[in-house]
């Protein structure tokens, strides 16, 4: 029965070829350094799941944001665990992404024919940093407020367009309810959409082109 259902689905979806391409493909002999990309993907999934759970209780307004975070941490069942996984997962994701890219640089796996894979990885790093920056303001406490004040102020020193960038980031000259709403929107809608699109392309290229072998003694 199960085999017939699988055959029926395969005729219509071609799932077996997809399964073979992803999970049964041949890969060269590598070491644990090559698992950094998979580890980053695992943390990204953790961030997505815990982030969705946090939005069920978080309120992105100046008069409720801090209290909602405290409610999640102290009142919601396992809220402290969910918030902790999301908080530390953000740091882990940055560290793992950087380590993954350093491995690619040191082993020269960004070279032909994997240049586009490398470019997508660079943009993914920028997105990950964007997650960290926009998420830092959301607790709306003193540390988050002043850190974001300094962070957005740095952008204002950009020659020619610095003041414009500052106003776009803050939604005005100063941090306000608009800033919090803007950071929240970017954090839960814009960046996740970009992350999913680029991650899909990145994984497609990894599967399509494959990963490089470990450098030999003669390389």
Q: Are 44 and 97 in contact (CB under 8 A)?
A: no
Architecture of the 42-209 domain:
Up-down Bundle (1.20)
Please give the model's pTM, rounded to 2 decimal places: 0.92
Read off the pLDDT of each residue in 71-95 and give the average, rounded to a whole number.
98
How far apart, in whole angstroms, are the C-alpha atoms of residue 218 and residue 160?
50
Nearest to 180, CA basis, from 154, 150, 149, 158: 149
Residue 59's CB is within 10 A of a number of other CB atoms, namely 16
| Predicted confidence (pLDDT) at residue 44 exceeds the cutoff of 90 | yes
The verdict on whether omega for the bond into residue 113 sits within 30 degrees of 0, i.e. cis, is yes
Q: State the pLDDT confidence band at 18, using cuts at 50, 70 and 90.
A: confident
Nearest to 83, CA basis, from 75, 72, 91: 72
Q: Are 114 and 103 in contact (CB under 8 A)?
A: no
How far apart, in whole angstroms, are the C-alpha atoms of residue 41 and residue 184?
22
Read off the pLDDT of each residue in 126-150 and give the average, rounded to a whole number.
97
| Predicted confidence (pLDDT) at residue 20 exceeds the cutoff of 90 | no
* Dihedral sign, Cα of residue 170, residue 175, residue 177, residue 181: positive
For residue 206, give Cα distances in angstroms to 20, 23, 114. Answer: 14, 12, 8
Read off the pLDDT of each residue in 95-114 and give the average, rounded to a whole number.
95
| Predicted confidence (pLDDT) at residue 2 exceeds the cutoff of 90 | no
Q: Are 53 and 89 in contact (CB under 8 A)?
A: no
| Predicted confidence (pLDDT) at residue 29 exceeds the cutoff of 70 | yes
| Token representation of residue 80 | 């402290």
Q: What DSSP string describes 43-59?
A: HHHHHHHHHHHHHTT--
Percent share of the chain, pLDDT over 90: 85
**Domain locations in the chain as residue ranges:** 42-209
For residue 47, give Cα distances in angstroms to 44, 57, 79, 204. Answer: 5, 16, 14, 21
Q: State the pLDDT confidence band at 1, using cuts at 50, 70 and 90.
A: confident
């Amino acid at each position: 029965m199960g085999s017939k259902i699988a055959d029926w689905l395969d005729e219509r979806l071609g799932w077996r070829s997809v399964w073979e391409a992803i999970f049964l493909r041949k890969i060269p002999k590598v070491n644990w350094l090559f698992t950094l990309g998979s580890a980053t993907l695992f943390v990204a999934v953790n961030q997505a799941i815990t982030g969705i759970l946090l939005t069920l209780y978080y309120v992105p307004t100046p008069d409720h944001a801090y209290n909602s975070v405290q409610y999640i941490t102290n009142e919601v069942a396992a809220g402290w665990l969910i918030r902790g996984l999301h908080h530390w997962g953000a740091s882990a994701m940055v560290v793992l992404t950087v380590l993954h890219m350093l491995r690619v640089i040191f082993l020269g796996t960004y070279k032909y024919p994997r240049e586009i894979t490398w470019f997508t990885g660079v943009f993914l790093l920028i997105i990950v940093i964007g997650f960290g920056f926009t998420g830092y303001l959301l607790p709306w406490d003193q540390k988050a407020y002043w850190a974001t004040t300094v962070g957005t102020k740095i952008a204002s020193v950009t020659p020619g367009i610095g003041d414009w960038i500052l106003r776009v980031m803050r939604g005005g000259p100063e941090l306000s309810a608009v800033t919090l709403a803007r950071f929240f929107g970017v954090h839960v809608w814009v960046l996740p959409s970009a992350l999913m699109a680029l991650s899909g392309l990145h994984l497609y290229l990894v599967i399509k082109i494959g990963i490089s072998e470990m450098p030999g003694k003669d390389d």
